[in-house]
Amino acid sequence: MTSTKKDPVLVVLQLSGGNDALNTLIPYSDPLYLDNRPNVRIEPERVLQINDQIGFNPAMGPIKRLYDEGKVAVIQGIGYPNPSRSHFRSMDIWHTCEPDKVGDEGWLGRALKDLDPQKENVLTGVNFGRGLPRALVAPGVPVASVGNLETYGVLTGIEIEEQRSKALDVFSRVYSPMIGQGPVLDYFAQTGLDALEGADILSTAPSMYSSTVEYGGDVVAQYMRNIAQVHLAGLGTRVLYTTAPYNSFDTHAGEIANHTRLWTEASNAVADFHDDLKEHDAGDNVITLVFTEFGRRVHDNGSGTDHGSGGVAFVIGDAVKGGLYGEYPSLEENKLLEGDLHFNNDFRSLYSALLEKWMGLDAKPIVNGAFEQMDFI
Amino acid sequence: MADKDIALMAHLMRRAGFGATYEELEARVANGYEATVEELLNPESQPAIERDVLMRYQPQWVSQAGLEGQQEEWTFRMINTKRPLEEKIALFWHQIFCTGHAKCEYPKQQQIEFDMFRTMGMGNFEHLLMGLATDPAMVFYLDNCMSHKDAINENWGRELLELFSMGVGMDGHANYSEDDVKECARAFTGWTVTNSVPRYPYGKYEAAFIYDPADHDDGEKTFLGETGNFNGEDIVSIIAKQPGTARFVARHLYNFFVADEPQVPAWQNTPPRDPEAIKMLEDEYYRSNYNIGSMLSVLFNSDFFKNARFTKVKSPTETVVSTMRLVGDFDMPKPGMNAMTLTIRYMGQDLLNPPTVEGWHTGREWIDSGTLVERINFTADAVGNTSHRGVQNIINRLASEGETISPERLVDGCLEMLGAYELAEVTRTELVDLARNEGELRTGTEEFGQRVGQMLQSIVATTEYLFA
């Protein structure tokens, strides 16, 4: 710990597509698990046991290690009332905290507005991936969206460096005078200059970075490495976000093979990231949230599982009080919700705890209401 | 050929289509403006996309139903159609009459819906609403198949009024009441789709609309002040004659084809940007018996349209498609379609999959720091690639002007070739300086092509180029 208090940082890994909670946090001793999963199941002897009832998927060894070190809060049965089984709608609800109407502001967009109201740093929020998740969207909040940190920038297709730098010089000189030329042009010019400035600063991050940690070659690993690079560069970034490839966790078919690969990649990436921060003594002010838009059907469909509800989320970091939070939803048929696990933890409770106890913000206006805060911090 | 004729034609083609190369603009100017409008409004005068060619090269577009394949198919059509307004009007209705891939039992149902937009989209609005009310994709998307005579589901009934025909209000007053929503929903009970065929083992099947009289509430209803044993078609014909509907359609046409308006939910209290233009369109709505094509004819031939150059922010679809048409890429199916089409999503418009039933927020809301970088880099990469046929044509035309050209001429020539774009004076001066500092422009050299490509890149990166 350095003497000056470091600003808390939130990293988010979104598992797009609906991660199968039952095969992630496995109720391996419950006969109903085996009954419901005649084909798409993890055999009990392979489960990485947490206790005599549940355990991690065998592909999650690295996360199990962090769990054993007391750094992982496992949030069981997370969801919201009247669950939507549409990827897009459910992800929107997680992003906007608007389960009843369609919202257009993301919870982290609002958080960024509170963290940096004067927009002093164009890199307060950074997304890794192409296309900005709605979670990060709020009017007037600049968020850089980085497809590839090594090559990120404006006019990156101009290969000759000298030409590109001239073009960028012209870019900034033609954008600046548009400021003040009416609300729309003003907004475009500011957005363009923010993007340029953000890219300029971000481009310094990879060259400042060195580490003994070797990340995997998959997309999640590379983005988690980029997140480490940006965090370690000390650019004042407070929210860093990335997503597993589009709908990759949507395991309707071939689940066992796919899900194993997905969790091997994701848990290696998350653990490598935390090891990397530890190596640089820079992990104490970072918490990682891993979430998905919904869990999957209790009963398998022969080779995969269809869209369901109640899911599982993970909160990981040195500052986290590790352990199991909430109850594992019952698999008894009369306690299911239309064949799905019933949620018993509202995701807005999770967000509220992260926002207030970790980021030091007032959670109510961000999550649209007062929710009991989980005590994992 | 007068520059202003080219500029006006470029404007028409950006709005009524997806832009045009300079050669196409010249040919169209030779034909005349009114004749071009007529041709655009009568798409059947031009050949359709050859579906069997698509089938041969990209069978997955036709035989499968994944989101990305369907996005590719539509993007390919927009790039290559000889009936640009037919695709533009389909895009227009898709942005209003939203259905989403995420909630579609048989995803090709949306393609069937788009074919309806193509064939009926410039016809009678009442007929189009009937088409929509009986469109299996919509019936399912807005749950009308879940609306029963003893348990109404208001989803379709509400959105028909709020998002598809009248809007919540105009001139500061509401256009309908909550009771109207309920009565509307009652009238549409029994408007459903055939039972879905289980997906396994034979795959997915098209749904069909059916009317189930046994599940229809045939009691008396009072809707917008009229009382009767209304069925769905009665509701549609009452809706079609409302002043709110004329206003809503006029304003949507204006917002899409003329100039950016505030977002739709603001229309109840925010007056139109150009009330006289809206009045002209409303009058034509009634005069023509609700004919969209007639309204468009008035619109494209009006001064308010002709004077509205660069008052609209290009949508991601318009950006990508017009760039491909300009540079002449993807004129045949080839590898790379998927990556090119995905750029539209990265720029913020996941075609066939709008974020909500309200569709996409348009205008300035297309732009944020992430989507702006995607937009600039995609466009700059395309126009800077001197191997593209369209870029070659631009280089050759400028080269034909003499052994050397001036820096001013390079800038102005590139602007013309991009569709008579205009820059703020400060912007133009910067670009002229850039050209001048790079040295004399000798058209016979290999370097000349690169210089043109660089200038095109700098132009498409400006704020001015975000507009159409």
Q: Identify all chain B residues contacting A153, using CB atoms and an 8 Å cutoff.
A: 373
Q: Tally the domains of chain A.
A: 2
Query: pLDDT band at B64, cuts 50/70/90?
Result: low
- The answer to the question of residue A374 being in a domain is no
Q: Are A332 and A31 in contact (CB under 8 A)?
A: no
Contacts of B331 (CB under 8 A, 6+ apart): B79, B80
Contacts of B412 (CB under 8 A, 6+ apart): none
Tell me: do A82 and A162 sit in the same domain.
Answer: no
- pLDDT value at position A206? 93
Query: pLDDT band at B124, cuts 50/70/90?
Result: very high
Is pLDDT of B195 > 80?
no
Query: pLDDT band at A252, cuts 50/70/90?
Result: confident
- Secondary structure of residue A79 in the 3-state scheme: strand
Report the C-alpha gap between B234 and B231 in whole angstroms: 5
Tell me: do A17 and A163 sit in the same domain.
Answer: no
Which of A:196-215 have CB within 8 Å of B? 198-199
Do A154 and B376 count as a contact with CB atoms less than 8 A apart?
A: yes
- The answer to the question of residue A3 being in a domain is no
pLDDT, mean of residues B439-466: 96
Tell me: do A40 and A80 sit in the same domain.
Answer: yes
pLDDT, mean of residues A57-67: 98
Is pLDDT of A13 > 80?
yes
- The per-residue pLDDT for range A275-331, each reduced to its tens digit, is 999 999 999 999 999 999 999 999 998 889 988 888 999 999 999 999 999 999 999
- The answer to the question of residue A36 being in a domain is yes
Q: Identify all chain B residues contacting A154, using CB atoms and an 8 Å cutoff.
A: 373, 376-377, 461
Distances (CA, A) of B346 to A93, A269, B376: 21, 24, 12
Tell me: do A21 and A113 sit in the same domain.
Answer: yes
Q: Are B9 and B33 in contact (CB under 8 A)?
A: yes
Q: For residue A188, give how far its alpha carbon lies from the nearest alpha carbon of chain B (Å).
A: 7
- Kindly report the average pLDDT of chain A as a whole number: 93
Which residue from B minimizes the CA distance to A138? B368
H or E stretch at A269: helix A255-279
- Kindly report the average pLDDT of chain B as a whole number: 94
Reading the block at residue B199, the tokens are: 């997906």
Report the C-alpha gap between B13 and B19 in whole angstroms: 5
Q: How many CA atoms, within 13 angstroms, populate the side-chain half-sphere of residue A293?
A: 27
- The answer to the question of residue A310 being in a domain is yes
Tell me: do A183 and A282 sit in the same domain.
Answer: no
Query: pLDDT band at B52, cuts 50/70/90?
Result: confident
- The answer to the question of residue A1 being in a domain is no
Q: For residue A260, what are the domain limits?
A: 9-146+203-367
pLDDT, mean of residues B95-112: 87
- pLDDT value at position B196? 66
- pLDDT value at position B137? 94
**A129 Ramachandran zone, left/alpha/beta (phi>0; psi -120 to 50):** left
Tell me: do A40 and A61 sit in the same domain.
Answer: yes
- Could you tell me the residue ranges of all domains in chain B? 1-36, 37-306, 389-466
Interface membership of A182 toward B (CB under 8 Å): no
Interface membership of A168 toward B (CB under 8 Å): no
Burial A155-172 (b: 16+ CB within 10 A, else e): bbbbeeeebbebbbebbb
Is pLDDT of B159 > 50?
yes
For A145, the closest of B355, B369, B384 (CB atoms) is B369
pLDDT, mean of residues A179-187: 91
Report the C-alpha gap between A110 and A129 in whole angstroms: 20
Tell me: do A353 and A317 sit in the same domain.
Answer: yes
Is pLDDT of A4 > 70?
no
- The per-residue pLDDT for range B375-417, each reduced to its tens digit, is 999 999 999 999 999 999 999 999 999 999 999 999 999 999 9
CA dihedral B430, B431, B435, B437 (to 10 degrees): 20
Interface membership of A194 toward B (CB under 8 Å): yes
Is pLDDT of A76 > 50?
yes
Q: In CATH, what number is assigned to the domain containing residue A331?
A: 3.40.720
pLDDT, mean of residues B289-293: 98
Tell me: do A165 and A246 sit in the same domain.
Answer: no
- The answer to the question of residue A128 being in a domain is yes
pTM over 0.80: yes
Q: Identify all chain A residues contacting B462, using CB atoms and an 8 Å cutoff.
A: 174-175
Query: pLDDT band at A130, cuts 50/70/90?
Result: confident
pLDDT, mean of residues B50-64: 77
Tell me: do A229 and A325 sit in the same domain.
Answer: yes
Tell me: do A248 and A363 sit in the same domain.
Answer: yes
Tell me: do A115 and A162 sit in the same domain.
Answer: no
- Best B264, B463, B465, B466 member to test A by mutation, with max A CBs in 10 Å, is B463
Q: For residue B295, give how far its alpha carbon lies from the nearest alpha carbon of chain A (Å).
A: 29
- pLDDT value at position A139? 81
Burial B296-313 (b: 16+ CB within 10 A, else e): bbbbbebebbeebbeebb
Type of residue found at B313: V
Tell me: do A184 and A326 sit in the same domain.
Answer: no
pLDDT, mean of residues B100-113: 85
DSSP bridge pairs for B193? B209
H or E stretch at A292: strand A286-292
Report the C-alpha gap between B122 and B41 in whole angstroms: 8
- The answer to the question of residue A137 being in a domain is yes
- pLDDT value at position B63? 63
Is pLDDT of A218 > 60?
yes
- Check the CA dihedral B417-B420-B424-B428 and report its sign: positive
- pLDDT value at position A2? 39
Interface membership of A160 toward B (CB under 8 Å): no
Q: For residue B372, give how far its alpha carbon lies from the nearest alpha carbon of chain A (Å).
A: 7
Which region among B178-187, B250-259, B331-340 has the lowest average model confidence (pLDDT)? B331-340
Do A86 and B372 count as a contact with CB atoms less than 8 A apart?
A: no
Report the C-alpha gap between A271 and A63 in whole angstroms: 6
Do B430 and A173 count as a contact with CB atoms less than 8 A apart?
A: yes
- Secondary structure of residue A42 in the 3-state scheme: coil
Q: For residue B52, give how far its alpha carbon lies from the nearest alpha carbon of chain A (Å).
A: 31
**Given the DSSP bridges, would you call strands A9-15 and A55-56 parallel, antiparallel or unpaired?**
unpaired
Q: Which segment, A93-107, B341-355, B408-422, is predicted with the most confidence on average?
A: B408-422
- Secondary structure of residue A196 in the 3-state scheme: helix
DSSP bridge pairs for A287? A10
Contacts of A61 (CB under 8 A, 6+ apart): A48, A267
- pLDDT value at position B358? 83
